[in-house]
A and B are shown apart, each in its own frame.
Chain A
Amino acid sequence: MSHDPPPEQQTPRLMPPGPLAHPLGAPLVRRDARDKATGSARYAAEHTPPGCAYAWPVPATVARGRITELDIGGALALPGVIAVLTHENAPRLASTDDPTLALLQEDRVPHRGWYIALAVAETLEVARDAADAVHVTYATDGHDVQLTADHPGLYVPERVNGDFPAVRERGDFDAAFAAAPATVDATYTVPPLHNHPMEPHAATARWSNGHLTVHDSSQGATKVREDLAALFKLGTDEITVISEHVGGGFGSKGTPRPQVVLAAMAARHTGRPVKLALPRRQLPAVVGHRAPTVQRVRIGAGRDGVITALAHESVTHTSTVTEFVEQAAVPARVMYTSPNSRTAHRVVALDVPTPSWMRAPGEAPGMYALESAVDELAALLDIDPVELRIRNDPATEPDSGRPFSSRHLADCLREGAERFGWQPRDPRPAVRRHGDLLLGTGVAAATYPVYIGATQAEAHAAADGGYRIRVNATDIGTGARTVLAQIAAAALGVPEDRVRVDIGSSDLPPAMLAGGSAGTASWGWAVHKACTALLARLRDREGPLPAEGITATEDTRLETAERSPYSRHAFGAVFAEVQADSRTGEIRVRRLLGQYAAGRILNPRTARSQFIGGLTMGLGMALTEGSSLDPAFGDFTACDLASYHVPAHADVPSVEAYWLDEEDPHLNPMGSKGIGEIGIVGTAAAIGNAVWHATGARLRDLPLTPDRLLPHLA
C-alpha cells in the first residue's frame, strides 16, 4: 500500500530544473511506473501466504434450471484435492443488495456460466482437474437470451443506471417531428461488449483469529469490505481488503465480484488461505458486461439544421438475477437544443449473465447512436457536421434547464477541427480513393457527467519534515497515486517528493471507488481538505512538531451531498480518419484525435494516457469488439481473447489527445472533471461517420467488421 517516492536518480523527471513548479498540472512520472516496469508491483493473485491453497470455479452448463444432482466424489478422490464447495456445503451468506454475490447458496441456475461449485486443492493443476471432475445433473427450463426490439417481455423500468428516470418528455415530440422539414429516423445496435481488463478478477483470502484479509482485484476496497461484512455478518473492523495494484477494471471491478466472495468462503471452509484467479473464458458470464442495445433515434430539424424534435429510445436486456439498465438515452438529455424531446428506456429480463458497468455506461453506446444520427442529419442537409453541432449547442441543459457549470463543446469542435485538419473537406461520400482503399473522415461529440463520492482522508505531518496522506483510493492505472501526491503537495505548499501517499487498503480512511470518472475529484477533494486542515494546525503551532507528528482527518460527506445548481459535464470532440479496403471490406483507423474540455488537467502525462486509452477502447467498440448470445446454449459466443477482439497494436495508429484550459469554479478545490471515461464516448460514432464518408455505406450495427461492409461494396 505504502508508496514512497522513488529516489531521484531512479526515476526520470520531466519537470524542468530550477524553482519548484506548481505540482498541480505538472507532468510527473507516475509513482508506480518503475515497479510496474520491473515486475515488482504485486497484484491480487501475487500474494501467496504460507499454506495457500488454489481454487478453480465450476460454471453451470445450462442457461436456466435447477441442480438436481451434484457428484463431487470423483473430484474429492483426486490426490491433492482439499474440498469442493457447493450449495450443499458452502458457508451460508447473508443476503445483500447485490444478488450476484449470493454464490453457492441455492440450486437455482439463472444463466449459463453461473458458478455452481468451487474446487480447492493443493495446486492450481489439481484444482483445475477437480473442477472438471465435478459432475452435475440439471432439470432445465426453456430459456430465452435473445434481445429483440419488440420482445414481449420489455417493460419500462423505474430508474436506469446512474439513478436517472427511465423516461423524460418535454414539449410535443410527435407533433414537432411530424412538422419538421428534415428528419432522420434510424436504429443502431451495439452488441454485448466485454471489459476484459488484462488482469483477470482474482482474490487471495485468509482468515486469522477471526480476521479476514483479502487481496482483491477491485476498483474500490471500501465497498468490497462493506459487502463482505454484510455477507459474512462481520464488523468492518474484522476485515481488511487490499487492492494495491489493479490490472484494469473498466467498471467490471467496481463492486465486489464472485472471486472475492468465493475465495473468502473457501478460506473459511478449508481453514487455509485460498487464492482464486478467474479463468479468462469464464469472465464474460460473471463479472458483468455492457448490455446490448437497440437504439432508435429520431431527429427533426429545420433546413438550417436547428433541431426541433429529438427522440432517443433504447431497448436493452438485464438478467433475472438483478436489474441493470444501460442508460443509453440519457446523454440525449444533455447534448443538443431540442425543445421537443423524448428519451426513454425499456428493458427485458432474459436468462443472460448480469450486465453491469463498462467504461462510460450509457454515454458510450448512447452517444454512438445519437452522434451517428446527427451525422446523418448533417449529410441530409448538406451542413458540415462540425457546424451543425455548433448550431445546436444549447445555452442551458435542455432537460433540466439548469445552467452548465462550464460547457466548451463548441470550442472543442473548433479547436479539434483545426488540429485535425478537418477542412478543406469534400462532404461527398466515397470519392477519395487511394489504390484499393477508400478514405474518409468523421467527427462526433463526447460528453461525460461530473460525479463525486464522499471520501475521508488523513494528512499527517511527521517530525522529520515529511508528509503522509492516507486514503483508500485505488490506482487501476489512472495515476491516482501520483495525482493525489500532487494535490497534497499543492495544498501543503511543499515539494511533491516530500509527500508519501498510502492508498489501496480498506484499513485506510474510507473512500469512493475508482469509477464514474470520479476518483481524482472525490479523493482529491478529501485530500485537499485534510491538507488544508493540517496546514492550519501547523500554522497555529510554535516550536518543533511532537515526535508522533500531527494528523488531520477530514471527510467530504457534506460537500458531496450538496446538490449543485449547475449541470456539470465534461465535453469533447473526436475526429477520425479511416480507410476501407474496397475489395475486402476491412476497415482500419488511420488517425484518431480527441479534443477535450474537462476542467483543470492535474497531470498532463497520465491524463493524456487516459484519454488515449479511452479513444483506443472506442476504436475497438467501433471496429473489432463484439459478442452475441448463443440462442441454443445461452452463453456468449466470443468468450476468449482469440475470439473477442480487443484492438491489438497494429489496429492503433496515431492517436492524439488534447485539451483546453478550462476554468470551472463549480466543481471541487482542484477544478477538475473526470477523464477516465470520456475518451471512449463518441469515438465509435466518429469512426462510423468516417466509414460513411469513405464508402457511402451507412452501417448502423457495431462492430464494423468486413462482413458488415462487404455487401455495400460494388
Chain B
Amino acid sequence: MKPFGYLRVDSVDEAVRAAAGQPGAQFLGGGTNLVDLMKLGVETPRVLIDVSRLPLDRIEELPDGGLRIGATVRNADLAASRPVRERYPVLSQALSAGASGQLRNTATTGGNLLQRTRCPYFQDTSKPCNKREPGTGCPARDGAHRDLAVLGHSAHCVATQPSDMAVALAALDATVRLHGPEGERTVPATDFHRLPGDSPERDTVIRLGELITAVELPPRRPGAHSRYRKARDRASFAFALASVGAVLAVRDGVVEHAALAFGGLAHRPWRARAAEEVLRGAPATERTFARAADAELAAAEPLRDNGFKVPLARALAVGVLADLAARD
C-alpha cells in the first residue's frame, strides 16, 4: 500500500470540491472493499476523502410514498429499517444475505454499490486484467471463471458485480442520486452499473469526482410482494453463485406486475426485461415462470466452467416467483 493523504469533509459540496482539486482522490465510506483492495495494491488512491461522517446517514420518507436512503447508511441499519422490511423486503433480504454481520455494520449504501468484482485475476496485481490495467488481457476467459459471468460479458472482461443489494435495487427500480462538479443528477439503478464492452475498467456510469449521496426507492406497488434468494457455496458469508431479486403482483391468478433481476451472472445486476415481458399478463404458474426465465437466459453465453449458472439462475427465478405467487 502506497502512502496517501487523508481529508475528512463536513459537507457534500466540500467533498466534491476536494475531489475535483486532488488528482488520485477517492472517497472513503466504510472502506470494507476499498481498504481490502488497497492492501492488495489494486486501488492506489493518493488521497482519501472521508465521507463516512457526512450527514447522509438517514432513511427518509419521500412525499410520493417512496424512500430516500442516505449514502452513508450502513448496510445493517438499512436491512433493519422498518419501512424497508415492511415495504421492500427484497432489499432487506438481499442485504442480510450479503457478507457478515461485522461487514454489514461497516459497509455503506454508496460503497456497496461501488464494490468491485471478486474476479481472482482482478485481485492479483501480478497478473494481467483489462479491468485493472486496460489492454493487458483477460486471463479469466480461459482460466478460473467458474464464478464469473454468463451474460453480457465481452472479449475483454468476464467479471461479475458481487453486490447483493444492487440486485434488489435493480428489481425495485431504484434511483441513484449523484452529486458532482457539475451538480446533481440521478441515474436509474438498472443503468448505474455498466456492461464491460471494450472498457471494463469502468464498472459504473459514475463520472470522475461524483459522489453517491442517496438511493431512492419508488413507492411500493400495491399488491406486490418481493423477495431475494441467493445460491452459494457456503451456507453463509459467501458471494452469490447466482441470485434473484423479484417483485411480483398477481391478481386473479394473472401476473399484473413483475420485476426480476439476477445477481452473480453479469458485470451488472441483470434486470430481466425479456422475462418480465413473458410474465406480464400471463397466468402465475410455474410453467410461466420457467418460460420467462428461459426467455431471459436464452441470451446466456456460458464459459467453459460456469454453464451451471444458467440452470441455477433459472431454478432460483422459478422458485422465487412461485413463492411470491403463493402469497396471494
Contacts and interface: CB of A to CB of B under 8 A. Distances in A.
Please determine whether chains A and B interact with each other in the same assembly: yes
Interface of A: 61, 125, 128-129, 132, 436, 581, 583-586, 588, 624, 628, 630-633, 637-639, 642-643, 645, 647-651, 703, 705-707, 710-711, 713
A129 B233 contact: no
Contacts of B41: 132
30 contacts: A61-B126, A125-B1, A128-B39, A129-B1, A583-B316, A584-B231, A584-B319, A585-B308, A588-B235, A628-B144, A631-B143, A633-B139, A637-B120, A637-B144, A638-B120, A642-B238, A643-B118, A645-B233, A645-B234, A647-B234, A648-B235, A649-B236, A650-B234, A650-B237, A651-B234, A703-B233, A705-B233, A706-B312, A707-B312, A710-B312
Interface string B228-257: 000111111111010000000000000000
B5 interface: no
Contacts of A650: 234-237
B318 interface: yes
Nearest to A651: B235
B2 A129 contact: yes
A631 B231 CA distance: 28
B127 interface: yes
A623 to B, nearest CB: 8
Nearest to B319: A583
Contact of A583 (B126, B237, B318): B318
B37 interface: no
B315 interface: yes
Nearest to B320: A583
Contacts of B234: 624, 645, 647-648, 650-651
- Max chain B C-beta neighbours (<10 A), residue from A129, A584, A637, A645: A584
Nearest to B311: A710
A505 to B, nearest CB: 34
Contact of A643 (B3, B120, B139, B316): B120
A211 B308 CA distance: 59
A645 B234 CA distance: 7
Contact of A642 (B3, B118, B143, B146): B118
B142 interface: yes
Interface in B209-231: 231
A705 B242 CA distance: 13
Given A632-B139, A650-B235, A707-B308, A436 B1 contact: no
A639 B39 CA distance: 15
Contacts of A649: 236
B284 to A, nearest CB: 18
Nearest to B316: A584
Please provide the 5 A-B residue pairs with the shortest distance between their CB atoms, ordered closest to farther: A650-B236, A650-B235, A583-B315, A707-B308, A61-B126
B76 to A, nearest CB: 17
Nearest to A126: B3
Contact of A632 (B126, B143, B311): B143
Nearest to B234: A645
Contacts of B143: 630-633, 637
A648 B236 contact: yes
B130 to A, nearest CB: 15
B45 to A, nearest CB: 14
A712 to B, nearest CB: 11
A645 B271 CA distance: 29
Contacts of A707: 146, 241, 305-306, 308, 312
A651 B39 CA distance: 29
Contacts of A711: 308
Contact of A710 (B126, B139, B308): B308
